[in-house]
Structure 1
């Protein structure tokens, strides 16, 4: 039933119109939580609920919240020089923002910096070490610097002036260049930069949280570029310091494990599965480390997800050609998983990452294995998994499930991709909705979709597990057999310069004759 997020009494919620527009802090029609059974029965007894229109597709809310990720805002005039050229001492207005140190030539009170007068921008990802300096000055006629910044190209920036070094000696006259622009608090800058090199904090961090030194030495998290969240952590974009390569980092709080009994087991299962997997259609695990408070999982970074692609279309849905192209890639990766005895258990467009958002024909990769399970043949599981909107009845009713739950999810993915709506409404038996073809496939938009597509969806959305298509049967379905689809998939394989994994030599032979018949290639 609906989850109330506004000032509405529970018993009154059922009277809200079914086409109520979703707004901030409004009622979410895809809520996982439910009204108590007794209240549902009482409300149903006095109200007859009309058949709802299909629910528009939208991004389901994440389960993890983090505190604001903006970096500590520090700015001010700073004396600095490069260790290899100590004679060239410079003064610039430094601003720490957007994961970089911005050094400006000009700053005016009331107006701020002149954005057109930038001396240098030093990305935090290029910094490999920040250390305090307590020794003598590099040049005896100048005060010693306060701290050093070492970068990936071995440049050492010497920052600040330690005037306390001369304590006990006669007070030196402040340089004229600084008399009207006092220098910044270098200790404040040192602390702010040290904090900025660390992964962003979360609400669950203890006050004495251990610093992620090993991770911070290798990666710079771009705290203002949050890619998403899963059941155990938040995913950020990050830069590998020594290569400049952009990656995705899932920052996982161990404190959450205490709140979810099986969370630690699920997280370890995800890392174990990713570590063992090697397939072009599955996101690659690159590195993992942990502190006493957090775990950091580094994966290859993609450039968007399938849901983003769907929602960005003017029509709010994809056409059949693109849908088939994406689906075959998903099925290829899923077949690899199932052959390893692994069920993903949370397939949905959000978990299908894309290599390029500027084309209709990108490479796809499945991600987020937090719910994945090893399920041998002829065995079933009953643990809670996945996202309800994409799960089959046997999971929602806790009757036991096997790897075929992923095939149901594929059916829902095809449906939402082609229509831009979810196939089922809450509060009604899924089996009853499936039997109502007019409800499941209304004229708008399904009159524009091939009957073979609806046939495939119906064969996947089978309440009876034994009647549901397997991956092999799905791949063999006539809707996924066409000369155009073959050409699109083969073009991707050639573009990626990888061993073919979406087409076969048998496909070459099958479609070569068809292409010749159509006069597209000459007969040899």
Structure 2
């Protein structure tokens, strides 16, 4: 009987429409951290889910593939050791309350949550392609077409949460998961994840938080910030995607020097790494995203509608469509459409960049030699500079 009650409690913790990842939820639930008298046990969890291989890890959690035993749905479960969250309980609360309230195809869906005395289990949709950090580490950099599509994906997600007055505050490649829906065409589609530092903003925020390489100047200047900090981080990511290294870097990994460079906001497009990139992209879109003044920085919506982003995303979507058509044709044994093959070849060649080269100064890549999650995000309260 006790086991049946515990499993019933597990089922009751499923969010609405657990099997319909892309449909809007009609009913929302608010969450709090579980109390220590929770009756769910590890045995209950394993009775309801088959826990599989590790697909990701971080400072506070490990992510594993899992399968619901009742309907064989393949999912992911984020297993958080609660003792490691002492003093950071708000991160779990944010993950549950904010991520649990969101439903967007470019945001990882939280489907259920269960808690034992020692661990919390956050069940999410499975995104099987790893994260963007891994993709950058493997490929070095990306052509403009793919970079534009990824910026479009992230802008969609940011525009969605910004319209709800939610700021992510820790946008970085490690928190962007790669969907394999078009992997055969060599195209990365992204989903935004990890809402541990996210919050609803109704007035300027003065908490210093984020990951050093991606932190916006207004956070460092302690003048108050809002959702524009996410767009700054997107600009940093776009810069890295196109050339393979971040725009602001300290030769000796000096964090104070890095922060000073960020506050100055002087961009450099070094040759030969930027030579293949179109002039308009270098001097308009990236500079518009990386404006030190947040009031003149592009918004997520403006980024989504930017001509370069729309054009590059369109090229990649057409490429994915062509690839799908070719695979369908191969499967049916029909004669391939040569005009489509020629178009694909033209698009592929147009998207190529010069071969990857390592900058002469090896220290130019200080923040991409290891995962930034190995160093926890900076988070501390400060006194507002302008009360």
TM-score by length of 1: 0.49
2:247 alignment partner in structure 1:
423
Contact 1:218–1:240 under 8 Å retained in 2: yes
Structure 2 unaligned residues grouped into runs of 5+: 4-38, 251-256, 325-387
Q: What is the CA–CA distance in structure 2 between the aligned matches of 1:361 and 1:344, rounded to whole Å?
A: 25
Shift of 1:317: 0.4
Q: Please tell me whether Structure 1 or Structure 2 has the larger radius of gyration of its CA atoms.
A: 1
Shift of 1:249: 1.0
1:16-415 equivalent positions in 2, closer than 5 A = 211-222=41-52, 225-258=53-86, 260=87, 263-303=88-128, 304-313=130-139, 316-356=140-180, 357-376=183-202, 379-415=203-239
Superposed CA deviations along residues 404-444 of structure 1, whole A, max 9, x for unmatched, are: 00000010010011111111123152257633x5xx21012
Contact 1:424–1:433 under 8 Å retained in 2: no
Of residues 294, 302, 308, the one that matches 1:465 is 294
Q: What is the CA–CA distance in structure 2 between the aligned matches of 1:297 and 1:286, rounded to whole Å?
A: 8
Q: What is the CA–CA distance in structure 2 between the aligned matches of 1:293 and 1:324, rounded to whole Å?
A: 42
Shift of 1:472: 2.3
Q: What is the CA–CA distance in structure 2 between the aligned matches of 1:281 and 1:466, rounded to whole Å?
A: 26
Q: What is the CA–CA distance in structure 2 between the aligned matches of 1:353 and 1:447, rounded to whole Å?
A: 29
Superposed CA deviations along residues 464-489 of structure 1, whole A, max 9, x for unmatched, are: 1212111222223232232x632534
1:60 alignment partner in structure 2:
none
For residue 303 of structure 2, give the secondary structure of its aligned residue in structure 1: helix
Q: Tell me the number of residue pairs that the alignment of Structure 1 and Structure 2 aligns.
A: 277
Shift of 1:287: 1.3
For residue 103 of structure 2, give the secondary structure of its aligned residue in structure 1: coil
2:265 alignment partner in structure 1:
434
Q: CA 1:239 to 1:494, structure 2 compared with 1: closer, same or farther past 3 Å? A: farther
Contact 1:231–1:370 under 8 Å retained in 2: no
Q: What is the CA–CA distance in structure 2 between the aligned matches of 1:432 and 1:392, rounded to whole Å?
A: 8
1:474 alignment partner in structure 2:
303
For residue 289 of structure 1, give the secondary structure of its aligned residue in structure 2: strand
Of residues 485, 493, 503, the one that matches 2:313 is 485
Q: What is the CA–CA distance in structure 1 between the aligned matches of 2:99 and 2:273, rounded to whole Å?
A: 38
Structure 1 unaligned residues grouped into runs of 5+: 1-128, 130-208, 497-524
For residue 277 of structure 2, give the secondary structure of its aligned residue in structure 1: coil
For residue 446 of structure 1, give the secondary structure of its aligned residue in structure 2: coil
Q: What is the CA–CA distance in structure 1 between the aligned matches of 2:220 and 2:235, rounded to whole Å?
A: 16
Q: Which has the higher helix share?
A: 2
Higher relative contact order (CA 8 A, sep 6+): 2
For residue 444 of structure 1, give the secondary structure of its aligned residue in structure 2: coil
Contact 1:278–1:284 under 8 Å retained in 2: yes
1:445 alignment partner in structure 2:
273
Instruction: Give the root-mean-square deviation of aligned CA atoms.
Output: 2.7
Shift of 1:397: 4.0
Contact 2:77–2:122 under 8 Å retained in 1: yes
Q: What is the CA–CA distance in structure 2 between the aligned matches of 1:475 and 1:458, rounded to whole Å?
A: 15
Q: Which has the higher strand share?
A: 1
Contact 1:320–1:418 under 8 Å retained in 2: yes
Shift of 1:240: 2.1
Shift of 1:370: 0.7
2:368 alignment partner in structure 1:
none
Q: What is the CA–CA distance in structure 2 between the aligned matches of 1:337 and 1:490, rounded to whole Å?
A: 27
